[in-house]
């Protein structure tokens, strides 16, 4: 079972089936999903995929945390560590509701997840892939200290590739 992670403003808790509808609503927002697949997913298929992943405890390595404000519940999004397809590497990823954008949520949650990944899970390195047009996410990844390493083909497209080693993270 994943631990709950606390930051100055946020609570990161393991996701549950109770989070499926909030996660689905976030993913159906075309502003949220535009850099992931270009268009929002089919609601029924995506709902079933979310339920299956939660029920099966995906990912086996890493974890997905629901992000909420520390002083009040409410789904802001998620941040997690999970296998980068067919690479043998673990990536950090996140997704947030539009109302959480520009408030430092992604950076604050990302730091907590990276620290947990390096210190507790012993992951090294941790990588990220970002759509080349997603400048906001590239800024978050830079704030988290990941270093650009060119591009790589993942998830059916050429993406910017970033890497952080535990030594570079000071952990």
Per residue in 84-129, pLDDT (tens digit) is 998 999 999 999 999 999 999 999 999 999 999 999 999 999 999 9
User: What is d(CA 159, CA 69) in angstroms, rounded to the nearest whole number?
Assistant: 31
Structure tokens at 94: 């996140």
Fold of 5-123: Aminopeptidase (3.40.630)
What tokens appear for 70 in the block?
Answer: 């520390």
Q: How far apart are CA 93 and CA 152, in angstroms?
A: 16
> Which residue(s) pair with 64 in the sheet?
80
CB atoms within 10 A of CB 61: 12
Give the pLDDT confidence of 6-39 residue by residue, as tens digits: 999 999 999 999 999 999 999 999 999 889 877 7
Spell out the domain ranges in the chain.
5-123
The pTM (predicted TM-score) of the whole model is 0.95
User: Among 92, 66, 80, 72, which residue's Cα sits nearest to residue 9?
Assistant: 72
């Amino acid at each position: 079972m994943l631990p709950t992670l606390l930051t100055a403003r946020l609570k990161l808790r393991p996701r549950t089936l109770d989070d499926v509808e909030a996660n689905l609503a976030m993913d159906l927002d075309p502003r949220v999903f535009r850099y992931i697949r270009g268009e929002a997913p089919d609601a029924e298929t995506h709902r079933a995929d979310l339920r299956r992943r939660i029920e099966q405890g995906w990912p086996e390595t890493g974890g997905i945390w629901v992000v909420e404000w520390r002083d009040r519940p409410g789904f802001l999004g998620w941040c997690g560590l999970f296998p980068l397809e067919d690479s043998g590497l673990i990536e950090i990823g996140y997704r947030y509701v539009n109302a959480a954008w520009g408030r430092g949520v992604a950076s604050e949650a990302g730091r907590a997840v990276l620290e947990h990944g390096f210190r507790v899970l012993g992951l090294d390195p941790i990588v990220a892939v970002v759509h080349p047009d997603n400048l906001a996410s590239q800024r978050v990844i830079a704030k988290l200290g990941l270093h650009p390493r060119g591009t790589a083909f993942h998830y059916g497209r050429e993406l910017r590739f970033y890497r952080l080693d535990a030594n570079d993270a000071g952990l």
